[in-house]
Chains A and B, each alone.
Chain A
Amino acid sequence: MRPFSYSRATDARDALERFQPGTMYLGGGTNLVDLMRLGVARPDSLVDVTRLPYDTVEAAGDGLRIGAAVRNSDLAMHPVVRERYPMLARAVLSGASGQVRNMATVAGNLLQRTRCPYFQDISHPCNKRRPASGCPAIDGDHSGLAVFGHSEHCVATHPSDMAVALAALDARVHVTGPAGDRVVPMPGLHRLPDGEPERDTVLAAGELITAVELPPPPAGASHYRKVRERASFAFALVSVAAVLDVADGVVRDCRLALGGVAHAPWRAELAEAELRGAPATQEDFSRAAEAELSRARPLPRNAYKVPLARNLIVRTLQELVP
């Protein structure tokens, strides 16, 4: 690690004032400290934002406002989250370990970086880590990487489980920054790599997430299902967050987001469009999944993600039919 200065911000204004080029905000540290130790992140100064007054989960109208500094485990344990947004609770619980969830914050979870092996090892080139140095994953080992929305510059995936559920729930991310406050809808916080894979999100330098707002829970049943190479404590090969509202055998509404398949949580809008108003049958679920997967561009070593995502979508939706 490069030597750095450390300070604790007391409120958002204080944090913004402390932010300079070379500064990074420190949340739970579960990914940032990891990346600093690897030499991937090399801040000159850390501004600790965990003591900002964003550590509560509160009702907001019929929805919920989750402070950016809320620890992942506290989010998953919150009675209202468990009762009204169980898909979100399950997504959070599906990620990492009990220890990591006790440390990691909501904002930190959203802003964690890809686990692409080339990105994490500074002995390799990586366009995300060192722009224009190349992407060895495209011709190398991309077995865990993106099948949707990747570019010739980057095939990284976003590793969060929580973000996939938030994308399906139409969450809104509240941001403050040097240019004022704004709200970024999910999905939409995370970018696709295009020609600028070094930018994971739409946030500008110095911008700080203050809260995540959940609209009232969508009608219907929901589930988060994650497939990985071992039974627990591993990143998703593919995951799905699904909400299905069925009345009289017909899909009234559907929300579908995929994890482990793109540079951002992947909202399966084509599948959703196919499903709305369609009969809630396996055949229709399959057709919807195929519609979404028609825009997948798998690479040689991750082609398995296409049938896996298809099967997972169909299976999860079937299980949600009342």
Chain B
Amino acid sequence: MNRVEGRDKVTGRARYAYEYPAEDVAYAYAVQSPIAHGRIRSIDASEALATPGVLAVLSSADPPALGSRDDAELALFQTHEVAYHGQIVAAVVATTSETAREAAQYAVRIEYDAEPHHVRLRTDHCGLYRPDKVNPAFPTDTEQGDVAAGLARAAVTIDATYTTPTEHNNPMEPHASMAVWEENGDLTLFDSIQGASDDRDTIASVLGLPPERVRVISPHVGGGFGSKGTTRPNAILAALAARAVGRPVKIALTRQQMFDVTGYRTPTIQRVRLGADAAGRLTAITHDVVEQSSTIKEFAEQTATPTRVMYAAPARRTTHRLVRLHVPTPAWMRAPGEAPGMWALESAMDELAIAAGIDPIELRVLNEPAVEPESGLPFSSRNLVACLREGARRFGWANRDPEPGIRLEGRWLTGTGVAASTYPARRRPSRASAAVEDGDFVIRIAAADIGTGARTVLTGIAAQTLGSPAERVRVEIGDSALPRASLAGGSMGTASWGSAVVRACEALLKNGAEGTADTTEDVESDSGFARHAFGAQFAEVRVDIDTGEVRVPRLLGVFAAGRVLDEKLGRSQFIGGMTMGLGMALMEETVVDERSGAFLNHDLAQYHIATCADVRDIEAVWIEEEDPHLNPMGAKGIGEIGIVGTAAAIANAVYHATGRRIRDLPITPPKLLG
């Protein structure tokens, strides 16, 4: 169905966090560190404070009182230490945004004592260590079987290292907040956030307030892809600034600032080794990952976890090693773990197929596991093979000549590639209420619609459960005053919130007036199965033989993700993920300047995401999948699986086109020319 808030979005009526009116509002602008490591020697804000219109300067010269300093990225102005280039070290609050920005950039004098910094991820870094767990709570390392023996008896082996660069989420809406302190000391915060309940709790904790004194409002969120999954410093800064000046305060990070303080995908260095017997059956898999975090907070991406799920093999090892660098803390970016991990694994599978002389689809089918390889649990449903077969049929794979570098059309070399996709299907506890008001059904849940279509899908779920036309159902989300809900992340939104909405509607049907639900117990009893969505992606590429330019005339994704609850919105989610995957494959890369430690290309002219012109024919379809072990809707999350496998499918197609195996993303003209 069409998005229920569609009319508001196309007419400009939908307000995002920064866009709420407030009386007497002031503006904050952050001052950032120009050094990557060291400490602040002195702060002189006198010139800023003497500037007409400037109301206050916040900094560690006068640390504001906080309730918790546990999260060093949020504990603003508490220390003179600098942990990375671009860290927020002060802020100016002024009556206009122009005045605040000018004073922040030119009238706050901060002297630093710089120390040497290290910002480049290397496999031989002396600081590499084994984190206790990887995001969110997976084992860091796993091993089963005899890997050395498996590799030794293999007829064919692949041993290759794949790398991914730093990548930034770059949602179109910059992270923004407006803080309003009420007369009674309560805080209302308009925030661009993927989950109002968790955001409220975090903000309350950092500020030292009971959660019920804080309300977070975020009905419309302009994308996030993980970067708005957790509270960001803009929210804390708005609250501190508003407290300091006794007026509402707005802050919107600039695009450049977003690169520094709203998270990013860690660069990865991944060594994958595969061994297979003469028939193509895997004898061993290893996936060893090196990645980074900041010096002030640990975030360990679960990059090798898909290798624990994908293929059958008698021996397997996965490891994650981390190094703490003078960089901002990495965080979630669409399909953390799976997106970079499957780029490596699915590139390696393609290399193995070629080395073994087996069609890459058949290789995957040959190694299809009966149960989840590492846990031994049965899959709640797994239809990877069906996706591969259906995709092959639709894409026209059957007569593909595997010989690389032989198809020349004009000055374009053409090729095709395939890769698998996977993403876990989980859910989290949520609450919801359902009521009849003025003859309509009103559903309340602190869910978030960051563009996924949550408001619309929940409307459909409620309507179906209630046996009501959708027009009679109104869903209220995006407010921490609503029943507590999990955040929009991990492709868990629909499964988590939908479960609660179904239960609340069922309760309403029982008593006729209202119903509430809390799915904590339901979710706790989710066990006994390995739950994952799967998919297969097919890419056709053209590579200009003179310039190395890569074009992608065709991308096809076939997914098996339980029941797709809304065809129109589901297709958009898959296609959107694949589009981001195309960017990951061909252009996305944040350049780290070693001298300064800065993210260099920190804007949308230099950090390239796909434009309209880069996206030709992208299609996504799905196979019907009945899975009774998931949730009342029978749905698996679909927000992230679309980006998983795209980069590998494109890289595999580039190999097929050119005979050049690029193992270092993104695949840019210089790499194909060199």
Binding site for B on A (CB under 8 A): 1-3, 39, 115, 117-118, 120-124, 136, 139-141, 143, 227, 229-235, 237, 303-304, 307-308, 311-312, 314-315
> Please, what's the 1-or-0 string for B103-137, where 1 marks a CB less than 8 Å from any CB in chain A?
00110000000000000000000000000000000
Within 8 A of A (CB), among B579-620: 586-587, 591, 593-596, 598, 600-603, 605-606, 608, 610-614
Given A227-B549, A308-B669 in contact, is the A136-B596 Cβ separation under 8 Å? yes
- Whether the Cβ atoms of B586 and A230 lie closer than 8 Å is yes
Contact of B34 among A2, A123, A233 (CB under 8 A): A123
A303-B674, A308-B547, A315-B411 given; name 14 further pairs at CB < 8 Å: A117-B606, A118-B600, A120-B603, A123-B596, A136-B593, A140-B594, A227-B547, A229-B668, A230-B608, A304-B669, A304-B670, A304-B674, A312-B546, A315-B546
Q: What is the CA–CA distance of A122 and B31 in the complex, to the nearest angstrom?
A: 13
- Whether the Cβ atoms of A2 and B106 lie closer than 8 Å is yes
Given A139-B595, A141-B591 in contact, is the A312-B547 Cβ separation under 8 Å? yes
CB distance from B588 to the nearest CB of A (A): 10
CB distance from A46 to the nearest CB of B (A): 14
- Whether the Cβ atoms of A229 and B547 lie closer than 8 Å is no
- Whether the Cβ atoms of A231 and B668 lie closer than 8 Å is no
CB distance from A113 to the nearest CB of B (A): 13
Q: Which residues of B contact A136 (CB under 8 A)?
A: 593, 595-596
- Whether the Cβ atoms of A1 and B673 lie closer than 8 Å is no
Q: What is the CA–CA distance of A149 and B602 in the complex, to the nearest angstrom?
A: 27
25 A-B pairs with C-beta separation under 8 A: A3-B102, A39-B106, A117-B601, A123-B85, A124-B593, A124-B596, A139-B595, A140-B600, A141-B600, A143-B591, A227-B547, A230-B586, A230-B610, A231-B613, A234-B608, A303-B674, A304-B669, A307-B673, A308-B547, A308-B548, A308-B670, A311-B546, A311-B547, A311-B673, A315-B411
- Whether the Cβ atoms of A115 and B605 lie closer than 8 Å is yes
Q: Which residues of B contact A143 (CB under 8 A)?
A: 591, 670
- Whether the Cβ atoms of B598 and A230 lie closer than 8 Å is no
Contact of A232 among B102, B547, B614 (CB under 8 A): B614
Q: Which residues of B contact A120 (CB under 8 A)?
A: 603
CB distance from A165 to the nearest CB of B (A): 19
B321 within 8 A of A: no
Q: Which residues of A contact B106 (CB under 8 A)?
A: 2, 39
| A305 nearest CB neighbor, chain B only | B670
| A304 nearest CB neighbor, chain B only | B670
Q: Which residues of B contact A232 (CB under 8 A)?
A: 611-614
Q: What is the CA–CA distance of A205 and B581 in the complex, to the nearest angstrom?
A: 48
CB distance from B496 to the nearest CB of A (A): 36
Given A141-B600, A315-B411, A315-B546 in contact, is the A229-B587 Cβ separation under 8 Å? yes
B656 within 8 A of A: no
B440 within 8 A of A: no
Summarize B's interface: helix, strand, loop or mixed.
loop
B551 within 8 A of A: yes
CB distance from A138 to the nearest CB of B (A): 11
Given A1-B102, A140-B593 in contact, is the A230-B669 Cβ separation under 8 Å? no
Q: Which residues of A contact B613 (CB under 8 A)?
A: 230-233
B101 within 8 A of A: yes
Contact of A237 among B591, B595, B669, B674 (CB under 8 A): B669
Q: Which 8 A-B pairs have the closest CB atoms?
A: A232-B613, A304-B670, A311-B546, A231-B613, A123-B34, A231-B614, A315-B546, A227-B547
CB distance from B102 to the nearest CB of A (A): 6
- Whether the Cβ atoms of B593 and A141 lie closer than 8 Å is yes
B98 within 8 A of A: yes
Q: What is the CA–CA distance of A114 and B608 in the complex, to the nearest angstrom?
A: 18
| A316 nearest CB neighbor, chain B only | B546
Given A2-B106, A39-B106, A232-B613 in contact, is the A227-B593 Cβ separation under 8 Å? no
Q: What is the CA–CA distance of A3 and B98 in the complex, to the nearest angstrom?
A: 9
Q: Which residues of B contact A124 (CB under 8 A)?
A: 593, 596, 598
- Whether the Cβ atoms of A231 and B594 lie closer than 8 Å is no
Q: Which residues of B contact A311 (CB under 8 A)?
A: 546-547, 673
Contact of A230 among B101, B105, B548, B614 (CB under 8 A): B614
| B606 nearest CB neighbor, chain A only | A117
| B52 nearest CB neighbor, chain A only | A3
Q: Which residues of B contact A121 (CB under 8 A)?
A: 256, 598, 600, 602
> Please, what's the 1-or-0 string for B652-674, where 1 marks a CB less than 8 Å from any CB in chain A?
00000000000000001110011
Q: Which residues of A contact B601 (CB under 8 A)?
A: 117
Q: Which residues of A contact B85 (CB under 8 A)?
A: 123
| B85 nearest CB neighbor, chain A only | A123
| B549 nearest CB neighbor, chain A only | A227
CB distance from B259 to the nearest CB of A (A): 11
| Most A-side CB within 10 Å, residue of B105, B547, B594 | B547
> Please, what's the 1-or-0 string for B89-105, where 1 marks a CB less than 8 Å from any CB in chain A?
00000000010011001
- Whether the Cβ atoms of A229 and B608 lie closer than 8 Å is yes
CB distance from B101 to the nearest CB of A (A): 7
- Whether the Cβ atoms of B102 and A2 lie closer than 8 Å is yes
- Whether the Cβ atoms of A140 and B669 lie closer than 8 Å is no
Given A2-B106, A141-B600, A304-B673 in contact, is the A231-B595 Cβ separation under 8 Å? no
| A134 nearest CB neighbor, chain B only | B595
CB distance from B609 to the nearest CB of A (A): 8
Given A231-B614, A232-B613 in contact, is the A1-B547 Cβ separation under 8 Å? no
- Whether the Cβ atoms of A235 and B595 lie closer than 8 Å is no
Q: What is the CA–CA distance of A311 and B600 in the complex, to the nearest angstrom?
A: 29
| Most A-side CB within 10 Å, residue of B102, B591, B602, B605 | B605
Q: What is the CA–CA distance of A230 and B613 in the complex, to the nearest angstrom?
A: 8
Q: Which residues of B contact A1 (CB under 8 A)?
A: 98, 101-102
| B101 nearest CB neighbor, chain A only | A1
Q: Which residues of B contact A314 (CB under 8 A)?
A: 546
Q: Which residues of B contact A3 (CB under 8 A)?
A: 102
> Please, what's the 1-or-0 string for B360-378, where 1 marks a CB less than 8 Å from any CB in chain A?
0000000000000000000
Q: Which residues of B contact A233 (CB under 8 A)?
A: 611, 613
- Whether the Cβ atoms of A230 and B611 lie closer than 8 Å is yes
Given A230-B608, A231-B613, A307-B673 in contact, is the A117-B600 Cβ separation under 8 Å? yes
CB distance from A47 to the nearest CB of B (A): 20
Q: What is the CA–CA distance of A252 and B670 in the complex, to the nearest angstrom?
A: 34
Q: Which residues of B contact A229 (CB under 8 A)?
A: 586-587, 608, 668-669
Q: What is the CA–CA distance of A139 and B600 in the complex, to the nearest angstrom?
A: 14
> Please, what's the 1-or-0 string for B519-563, where 1 marks a CB less than 8 Å from any CB in chain A?
000000000000000000000000000111101000000000000
CB distance from B433 to the nearest CB of A (A): 45
CB distance from B187 to the nearest CB of A (A): 31
Q: What is the CA–CA distance of A3 and B101 in the complex, to the nearest angstrom?
A: 11
Q: What is the CA–CA distance of A314 and B610 in the complex, to the nearest angstrom?
A: 29
Q: What is the CA–CA distance of A7 and B169 in the complex, to the nearest angstrom?
A: 41
| A233 nearest CB neighbor, chain B only | B611
CB distance from A36 to the nearest CB of B (A): 10
Q: What is the CA–CA distance of A2 and B104 in the complex, to the nearest angstrom?
A: 11
| A38 nearest CB neighbor, chain B only | B256
CB distance from B100 to the nearest CB of A (A): 11
Q: What is the CA–CA distance of A227 and B594 in the complex, to the nearest angstrom?
A: 27
Within 8 A of A (CB), among B22-48: 32, 34
Q: Which residues of B contact A234 (CB under 8 A)?
A: 605, 608
| B544 nearest CB neighbor, chain A only | A227
Q: What is the CA–CA distance of A181 and B400 in the complex, to the nearest angstrom?
A: 66
Q: Which residues of A contact B596 (CB under 8 A)?
A: 123-124, 136
Q: What is the CA–CA distance of A1 and B673 in the complex, to the nearest angstrom?
A: 42
